[in-house]
Amino acid sequence: TQAALALECIHTRDTLPILAQLLDSPYPMVRESAILGMGRFVNNLPVTTNDLVPNQKYRTPMGPAPYRTAQTDKYSQSSLQVVQANEAEYVQFWKSWWAGVKSNLAP
């Protein structure tokens, strides 16, 4: 689960294939990290570092978010409680999203 948390914080184009694989994990916390990491990617949030946490700058987009849509907003802006309550729906959305974009994003 620590590796999944790290990938959630990194959430780069290079980590997306791994995050997508983690959607199939038998562990709920790992799936949640995958969902949150993919959402952070589409929202173009910076990689989380210790210096960005105190001032909350890790929550500020780095510029345009070309992969952000109304649908990705629905599945990336929710609280963790909403994700947990509707996890199967979130997992399915992100699997579908990845299937649709991986040919353009896979490293």
Task: Compute the average pLDDT of residues 82-102.
Answer: 92
More confident of the two residues 68 and 107: 68
Instruction: Read off the pLDDT of residues 17-64 as tens digits, 9 standing for 90 and up.
Output: 999 999 999 999 999 999 999 999 999 998 887 787 777 777 788 899
Q: How many CA atoms lie within 13 A of 81 on its CB side?
A: 0
Q: How far is CA 65 from CA 1, 30, 59, 84, 104, in A?
A: 28, 25, 13, 25, 15
Average pLDDT for 73-80: 81
Higher confidence at residue 97 or residue 59? Answer: 97
pLDDT at 88 over 70: yes
